[in-house]
Amino acid sequence: MRTPDPRPGAIFREGLWTRNPIFAMVLGICSALAVTTTVRNTLVMFLGVLFASVLTSVAVSLLRHRIPGSYRLMVEMLLASTLVIVFDRALRLVLPAVSRELGPYVGLIITNCLVMGRAEAFAMTNPPLPAALDAAGCCTGYGLVMLAIALVREPLGLGTLAGYPVMPAAYEKCGLLVSPPGAFLCLAALLLLVNTLRDRRPGGEP
Amino acid sequence: MNPVQVASAATTAGAFAVGDWSRLAAIFLSAGLVDNIALAWFIGMCAFLALSKDTRVAFGMGVAVTFVTTLTATANWLVNRFLLVPLGLEYLQFLVFILTIAAIVQFLELFVDRHFPALYEAFGIFLPLITVNCTVLAASIFMVQRQYRFWETVVFALATGLGWMLAILLLAGLRQHLAFCRPPKNLGEVGTALLLAGLLAMAFSGFAGMAVQ
């Protein structure tokens, strides 16, 4: 891996596009496929991942000189699961309906490769502020990709956008898009689009 | 799912009773085929895509995941029933489950290395990857959310692991044959795998008629 640009803005931007977790590293796609049937669930999931990832990265970065090498993964995981428990509890209190719909996926933020990946690859070797920015950038990039998928799947598959009907009444809903196979096909199509764009613009800036 | 409900169902008498065999069979078929953890729930995707280039590797990972999932879900059921529920600590489930999983994987690695060196040669490299494999944690979370009893948990976890193994083996078989075709260049290796997974998921949705709730 090349050395990251030290400027804070650049760290954030790199996570957004160049090192976008889904396009560049194909990490954390479990939830990108599972929760993108509606825009609302996608946004909640994004907030959860952002919360867990940024705070895990900051905590790991603060403790990085004290964590013994061989227990590294264990410590990172315990920090992440503590934060996910906090998020899960808060979600149950504030939005019980969304919490039920997301089901196991909130708990699975713990093993989301994105959270562990940023803690392991960046926060272990960098001070807290860059670590937070790196995690925030990657999560935002991740969130935008999930949102892009949700913006295709919800209107075409359910005829609504964030819960409000947007399609004309005569529109026949495309059930395939909100079913599991549709999720795989949507992400494959998106990867094709992004790779084509990247080929055209080798600089990689958005 | 509110925690009070979970507590009451998990502590009722007969949690170890086998009960209805047909219900166990239904759970097995449902977790293995209809609600396949990889193709219907998208869980364990990272390893599913990364390790499915070669059927031998896919098989090794599949066996390791099946074994660890069954072992850890069973252990977590016991921990949940006899430790967390009586103490009213259900909110620590995620933390404790992850700890149990990490401890079991670590122990398994030492044990297999010590007593079955040949097995360690074949499957040992997969063990460290498993702690962060979502499939293992997901089985424990599902078992709590669906309020499974002891034997239901064992059957469910075994079927989940086997279902994941079936999915990754099928995908690996398909990917090995990609040498004979030319998918669009810009789709990339991962995009092609996702496309194949989508087709597999469509095939698996044909099992939906078998679902027994």
B178, HSE (Cβ side, Cα atoms, 13 Å): 22
Torsion angle in degrees (nearest 10) through CA of B170, B174, B175, B181: -170
pLDDT category of residue B212 using cuts at 50, 70 and 90 = low
Which contiguous run of DSSP H or E holds residue A165? strand A164-165
Shortest Cα distance from A97 to chain B (angstroms)?
Answer: 10
B7 or B88, which is more confident: B88
Residue whose C-alpha is closest to residue A134's, from A19, A31, A25? A19
Domain boundaries, chain A: 10-200
Instruction: Mark yes or no for CB contact A111/B184 under 8 Å.
Output: no
Q: Which residues of A touch B93 (CB under 8 A)?
A: 107
Q: Name the residue facing B188 among A88, A103, A191 (closest C-beta).
A: A191
Q: Does B99 touch chain A (CB under 8 A)?
A: yes
Size of interface A-B (CB pairs under 8 A): 120
Q: State both tokens at B74.
A: 């069973």
Nearest CA in chain B to A195: B186
CA distance B188 to A77: 31
Number of C-beta neighbours around residue A147 at 10 A: 14
Shortest Cα distance from A205 to chain B (angstroms)?
Answer: 18
Q: Name the residue facing A191 among B44, B134, B191 (closest C-beta).
A: B191
Mean pLDDT of B106-128: 79
pLDDT for the residue numbered A171: 73
Q: What's the whole-model pTM score?
A: 0.83
Among A140-149, B122-131, B145-154, the minimum mean pLDDT is found in: B122-131
CA distance B161 to B29: 12
Give tens-digit pLDDT for B50-109.
888 888 888 888 888 899 999 999 999 999 999 988 888 888 888 899 889 888 888 888
Q: State both tokens at A138.
A: 């990657």
Q: Would the ipTM clear 0.90, i.e. be above it?
A: no
What is the pLDDT tens value at each position of chain A, 206 positions in all?
445 556 777 777 777 777 777 776 666 777 778 888 888 888 998 999 999 999 999 998 998 888 887 777 788 888 899 999 999 999 989 988 888 888 888 888 888 778 888 888 888 888 888 889 888 888 888 888 888 888 888 888 777 777 777 777 777 777 777 788 888 888 888 888 888 887 776 554 44
State the Rg of chain B over Cα: 18
Q: State both tokens at B67.
A: 């074994």
The set of residues, in sequence order, having a beta carbon less than 8 Å from that of A186 and lying 6+ positions away, is: A36, A149, A152, A153, A177
Instruction: Mark yes or no for CB contact B186/A103 under 8 Å.
Output: no
CA distance A27 to A14: 16
Give tens-digit pLDDT for A54-78.
999 999 899 888 888 777 778 888 8
pLDDT category of residue B117 using cuts at 50, 70 and 90 = confident
pLDDT for the residue numbered B77: 92
pLDDT for the residue numbered B172: 92
Q: Give the residue ranges of DSSP H helices in chain A.
A: 8-16, 29-34, 39-62, 72-94, 96-102, 104-107, 113-121, 128-158, 175-178, 180-200
What are the backbone dihedrals phi and psi of residue A114, each rounded to the nearest 5 degrees, phi first? -60, -50
Instruction: Mark yes or no for CB contact A27/B202 under 8 Å.
Output: no
Q: Name the residue facing A187 among B98, B133, B194 (closest C-beta).
A: B194
Yes or no: say if A24 and A81 are a contact pair by the CB < 8 Å rule: no
B78 or B132, which is more confident: B78
Instruction: Mark yes or no for CB contact B205/A116 under 8 Å.
Output: no
Strands of chain B (E only): list them: none
Nearest CA in chain B to A98: B1
Domain boundaries, chain B: 60-162
In sequence order, the β-bridge partners of residue A161 are: A164
The set of residues, in sequence order, having a beta carbon less than 8 Å from that of B93 and lying 6+ positions away, is: A107, B80, B84, B141, B144
In Å, how far are A145, B173, B183, B201 from B195, measured between CA atoms?
18, 14, 10, 10
Give tens-digit pLDDT for B162-188.
999 999 999 999 988 887 888 777 787
